[in-house]
Amino acid sequence: MTMKYANFTLSRALRQLGRLETNLGEKRALLERALPHRKEALALAERLEPYFYWNVGGHRSGVGQLKGELSAFEKDSEKRKTILEEAISDKEYGSQLFIKDLQRFGKTGGETVVWWAEVAISQYSRGELLNSLYELTHNEQHQRRAIKAFEETVDSFQKANRVTNIAECYWKLARGYDTLHEHLKAAENFDMTSSKYEQAAEKITQLKGFYQNHASYMEAWSEIEKARHHHERQEYGSAREHFEKAADLHKPLKQWSYLASNYAAWAKLEQAEELSRGEQDEEARKSFEQTSGLFDETRKSIQSQLDKIENADEKRMATNMLKATETRHEYCKARIAVEEAKILDKKGDHYSSSEKYGSAAETFERISQRQDSEQEKREIQFIFTLSRAWQKMTMAEAEASPALYAEASVLFEQVREYVPSEKTKMLVLGHSRFCKALEAGTEFADTRDQALHAAAVQHLASASNYYMKADFQTASEYAKATKLLFDAYAYMDNAEKEKAPDKKAKLYVVIERVLQTSAGSYTKAEHPEKREQMLKLLEKAKEEQELAASMTEALHVPSIVSATTAFASPTPTKEEAVGSERFEHADIQANLIVRQKEIRVGESLSLEVELVNAGKGPAQLIKINEVIPQGFELLEKPDTYRVEDSYINMKGKRLDPLKVEELRLVLKPKALGTFSLKPTILYLDENGKYKSHEPEPVAITVKELGVKGWLKGER
């Protein structure tokens, strides 16, 4: 037993030294020395006390913890994967032994709170290791295992009555579901996180404001996840509403208010996309211009805050978002060009429309080349290829060019590699087949080649079928009507060639029926103006020149489907619900309590400083700087600490998680004016890392002595 404890103690000491070591090489060496001693302690525990499940589980979990920490130093991805898998297995088995020990003896009551907390801590670290394994492998199953681990951790922390830890677990669950694009489940867990922080605010009054801010931040993230859910389904109106709520929730938050303009920009972008798909082109163009301005505002807001951000994960996110704002600004400029292209096309200026589509495509291509993630590249590549397709199509209209229609068809065919949904895939395939029909139809108008007629009719039937699968009934009807129109043209050709009057008359009866059916389909396709065109076509058809002109009219690209209907605007992927990492280590928060904010010369001011450790690790308090502002003198100081110049020496006082340290000072003003109490708390976390915290400053106004004071001779 002595050897077991000796190995355990040595391993723990080496691990603690490793955590304090700043040199990465030395840190790794210390952890590598610690691991075999912990393994030896485990082996001895399994041999000497195999049924003391709690101790065996603790050693097994400890071995897993060391392996997990060492995995971060391994550069070979396969070796790192193996180490992580071993660490996760050790952690899981250790937790099972913990629970087996508690269940075996039926332990209940207050004494189990501490034990269940230990179980939860082990489960939580397993969830973190599984997250690391997912980041390494991108295997969705590892993320789902991490989610299961955090769900188990919630249950254990509930038994331990640790509300703040439960909140952190729900936060991890929400982020896990976000990674899997299960945004409604993510929103549900962010709501649970918000609720738990509200409970914590009521339970720990010294951290009430701190936790209420986090509750609002989590509520905002629930709205963001709902917005993402609707965005991915191109339900832009609903997405806009949720982004607007997220922006409003960010505005009063001191730590995250600088991001409010970002979510306001996304709300405006969703509105622009909705207007675009509703063929409100001019309104959409203006909305994209406004969005561009909001993203520019976001860039300035993030830039002004970047140097003030202390949390490493938040700084990383803000840096990524700063880069993204420029891309989003460019995206809006390209979308403005697309809307202008649509406007020009409707006016019949196909050449200018094609130029605008080309300009937009060039911008989208530049954006695509700068994207980091594969998802972002695919999203922009999709829009880029669509823009090229519409560029070719509008130029084909301008030049009545079968070759350009063919190129547009190929581009629509290619774009299906990047489509975000099956519905969109069917839509672009419908466009591809319609272009093929226009290619064949344009040649048929010149040649009257029946083979080309047959090809045009076949492609129109195919286009109609794809539009139907995409749930675009009007587009399907339009393609069907155009197919019938081609049939009518073929009959007209035959009628013109027919010499026998009776046969010619019969053909015109058939033509009339076909045109009437075509007119009905155009009406269903919400193009009633085509009906009159169809009914007058018989008269026009008797003259060859007018027949060709009417056919050219019919070959115009249908306006029943917006050019941007298939567009899928980029997903806001750079935004992350960061911040939970701060709780992994010591995190000091402070409150300044002043009963009077207006005093007179000669009066004393009582100042209370509440220090609370909101993190999981113990803090070592170093000093409180600038606690005595210029213009004041100290009358009374805390009994246990020294005051040196304008700071309080905290003598390395240890402050455990969720513990409070209170200090009281009495100050006396020496001058008139308004003074700001703005101290800085300096401390070390459990890893020996220097940290600081600045509480919300308090303004104190010092006035002249009142009349009564003068009468009493107080000067």
Q: Kindly tell me the burial class for residue 199, based on how many C-beta atoms sit within 10 Å of its own C-beta (0-12, 13-18, 19 or more).
A: middle
d(CA 450, CA 112): 87
Would the pLDDT of 619 be above 70? Answer: yes
pLDDT in tens, 379-429: 888 888 889 999 998 899 888 889 999 999 999 888 877 777 788 888 888
Q: What percent of the chain has pLDDT over 90?
A: 52
Given this model, what pLDDT does residue 48 score? 87
Average pLDDT, stretch 359-375? 86
Would the pLDDT of 550 be above 80? Answer: no
Worst-scoring range by mean pLDDT, 210-219, 486-495, 678-687? 486-495
DSSP run (H or E) holding 312: helix 312-346
Domains in the chain: ranges and CATH: 585-711 (2.60.40.10)
Average pLDDT, stretch 183-198? 97
Rank 572-586, 642-656, 694-708 by mean pLDDT and report only the highest: 642-656
Joined tokens for residue 281: 């082109």
Rank 109-123, 234-248, 529-543 by mean pLDDT and report only the highest: 234-248
Would the pLDDT of 561 be above 60? Answer: no
Worst-scoring range by mean pLDDT, 13-22, 122-131, 257-266? 13-22
Q: How many CA atoms lie within 13 A of 603 on its CB side?
A: 18
Q: Which residue has better confidence, 425 or 158?
A: 158
Would the pLDDT of 546 be above 50? Answer: no
Would the pLDDT of 715 be above 60? Answer: no
Q: Residue 671's CB: how many other CB atoms inside 10 A? A: 10
Q: Which residue has better confidence, 708 or 370?
A: 370
Q: Residue 447's CB: how many other CB atoms inside 10 A? A: 11
pLDDT in tens, 56-104: 999 999 999 999 999 999 999 999 999 999 999 999 999 999 998 888 7
Query: Residue for token digits 């009057």?
Result: 501
Split at pLDDT 50, 70, 90, the class of 710 is very low
Given this model, what pLDDT does residue 197 score? 96
DSSP tag of 419: -
pLDDT in tens, 507-542: 556 666 666 666 666 566 555 555 555 555 555 554
d(CA 600, CA 677): 16
Average pLDDT, stretch 199-210? 93
Average pLDDT, stretch 625-651? 88
The amino acid at 399 = E
d(CA 223, CA 554): 47
Given this model, what pLDDT does residue 148 score? 97
Given this model, what pLDDT does residue 454 score? 86
The amino acid at 61 = S
Degrees, nearest 5: CA angle 650-655-657: 155
- What values do phi and psi take at 338, rounded to 5? -65, -45
Split at pLDDT 50, 70, 90, the class of 303 is very high
Worst-scoring range by mean pLDDT, 367-371, 648-652, 678-682, 696-700? 367-371
Residue 23's SS3 state is: coil
The amino acid at 665 = L
Joined tokens for residue 308: 């003030």
pLDDT in tens, 429-462: 888 998 998 898 888 777 778 888 889 888 988 8
Contact 569, 273 (CB under 8 A): yes
Split at pLDDT 50, 70, 90, the class of 220 is very high
Given this model, what pLDDT does residue 415 score? 81
Average pLDDT, stretch 113-120? 90
DSSP tag of 181: T
Given this model, what pLDDT does residue 397 score? 85
Given this model, what pLDDT does residue 98 score? 92
Joined tokens for residue 363: 């911008």
Q: Residue 77's CB: how many other CB atoms inside 10 A? A: 10
